[in-house]
Amino acid sequence: MTDRRRLLGLAAGLSVALGLSACATGPNINTDYDRSVDFSSFHTFSLASDTPQPGAPPLTWQRVSDAINRTLQARGFTRSDTPDFAVGFTLGKRDRIETWNYGPYYGAWGQSGGGWWNAQTHVRTITEGTLTIDVFDAKTRRPVWSGTATQRLSGPVSQAEIDAAVTSVLAKFPPTSGN
């Protein structure tokens, strides 16, 4: 029975460690694109809008806009009034509720009486922020690429977090056969 208790304790400890390590990772990145587009012809860009979206904090919006400009220029693209592609972005935030329960066997193992009566359900509210960057063909005005970064937020978003999200998303633009 002692081996079973150790195994259950180890399994529970491992799941907690994996859960905490998931919190420490960077944003979750997803991209999609129009496979019929020749992205090698894209050299110049502009922003689709110079006005913050309704409800977005203006300073955060400006910081994201600046980060997109810096990142694209660092990757060799040139900002232009007659661009090959236009870049738009949206910011979002949502709360979701997370629940988990280790069951009746987790509780107080190693203490007298075992853990049979200590099943507890844990509930917490998680705030997730989402940055979506969309690329449009400037000639056709059609969307050709989209990238999204989603990450758990724990307070105000720093410039470093914005830069990391923008860099992570735009690392997959233009798409290659691997992304």
Residues β-bridged to residue 79: 45
In a domain, 144, yes or no: yes
Distance CA 153, CA 49 (A): 26
Answer yes or no: is pLDDT of 59 > 60: yes
Structural domain count, the chain: 1
More confident residue, 65 or 7: 65
- CATH code where residue 164 lies: 3.30.160.670
In a domain, 88, yes or no: yes
pLDDT in the model for residue 109: 52
Answer yes or no: is pLDDT of 2 > 60: no
In a domain, 52, yes or no: yes
**With bands split at pLDDT 50, 70 and 90, how would you rate the model's confidence at 86?**
very high
pLDDT digits (tens, 9 = 90+) for 109-122: 555 555 455 667 77
In a domain, 111, yes or no: yes
Sheet arrangement for strand 78-79 = 28-33, 143-153, 121-137, 85-101, 44-47, 78-79
Answer yes or no: is pLDDT of 12 > 80: no
Region 37-60: what's the mean pLDDT? 92
* Single pTM value for the model: 0.72
Distance CA 100, CA 92 (A): 26
**Range of 90's domain?**
27-170
In a domain, 21, yes or no: no
> Could you tell me what percent of the chain has a pLDDT over 70?
74
Region 118-134: what's the mean pLDDT? 84
- Tell me phi and psi for residue 84, to 5 degrees: -80, -30
Among 30-39, 137-146, 156-165, where is mean pLDDT lowest?
A: 156-165
**Other CB atoms within 10 Å distance of the CB of residue 168:** 18
In a domain, 76, yes or no: yes
More confident residue, 96 or 16: 96
In a domain, 10, yes or no: no
Q: Which of the listed ranges 12-26, 33-47, 97-111 does the model predict with the highest average pLDDT? A: 33-47
In a domain, 8, yes or no: no
